[in-house]
Chain A
Amino acid sequence: MNNPLAFVQAMRNPQQFMQNIMQNQQAMQNPMVKNTFDMLQKGDNKGLEEMARNLCREKGIEPEDAMKQVRSIFGM
């Protein structure tokens, strides 16, 4: 899903979006996607946050700065 508009449209119904991805075998072969959806299903918020922090660090972004940016986007 490279088109951001398609992503926004898909996120109108997150449950359907999640089901579609979980039924997509190619996507579920990706260990990161699989782990993310496993954690989402279990409600493992701590694990998801840790994963997001790891991704930020790998990309050379300070996790706190990323959080600030996301908060500002949503007016929080």
Chain B
Amino acid sequence: MMPYMNQNPNYYQQYMQPQYQMPVQNPYMDRLNQFQNQQVVQPQVQNQFPALGKVVEGIEIVKTTDIPMDGNMYYFPTADGSTVFGKQWMSNGQTRILTFKPVLEGNPNNSPTDDVKIQFGAFGEVLDGIQNDLRTLSDKVDRLNKPEKVKKGGSDE
């Protein structure tokens, strides 16, 4: 075993990294630069996060929920994701509530609610078919019953 071999695999990474000497600067200049950078970044961060409300069960809860009077819209999604309500103070001292409904991508006219209607429509067609079959069956049963009565009546006479 070599006498000076180090067992630590990070040894070379620790000690062989190139070291750059930073030029000596006025520490107040660094702080000033930091402060200026913060001033530039802060508004962008604020714009990235929309004002959010909370998850609600229905519009009644949105109506009774107070929101800050800052003019921003606060969003209240429903738990099932079918609707998002937006509540906002208007300049005349009233609040307004907007209702946002999801639209499926690719076919803007085909919203999930329409999809459900289509499914129920197909189910209704099947139901109609079954009802028609039942009617025809009951008619056949009636027809089968009627000749027996006629026969019975004929034999009685």
Contact = CB atoms under 8 A, between A and B. Distances in A.
10 contacts: A30-B70, A32-B69, A32-B71, A50-B92, A52-B93, A54-B94, A55-B93, A57-B94, A58-B93, A58-B94
A31 B71 CA distance: 6
Interface in B55-74: 69-71
Closest 10 CB pairs of A and B: A54-B93, A35-B91, A31-B91, A51-B93, A55-B93, A31-B71, A54-B94, A30-B71, A58-B95, A32-B91
Contacts of B94: 54, 57-58
A7 to B, nearest CB: 16
A44 B150 CA distance: 93
- In this complex, the member of B69, B71, B93 whose beta carbon has the largest number of chain A beta carbons within 10 angstroms is B93
A53 B69 CA distance: 16
Q: Is the interface of A mostly helix, strand, loop or mixed?
A: helix
Interface of A: 29-32, 34-35, 50-55, 57-58
Interface residues of B, number: 10
A55 B90 CA distance: 10
Interface of B: 69-71, 89-95
A15 to B, nearest CB: 23
A53 B92 CA distance: 10
A63 to B, nearest CB: 11
B92 A51 contact: yes
B39 to A, nearest CB: 15
Nearest to B89: A32
A37 B118 CA distance: 53
A29 B70 CA distance: 8
Nearest to A34: B91
A36 to B, nearest CB: 9
Nearest to A47: B92
A34 B70 CA distance: 11
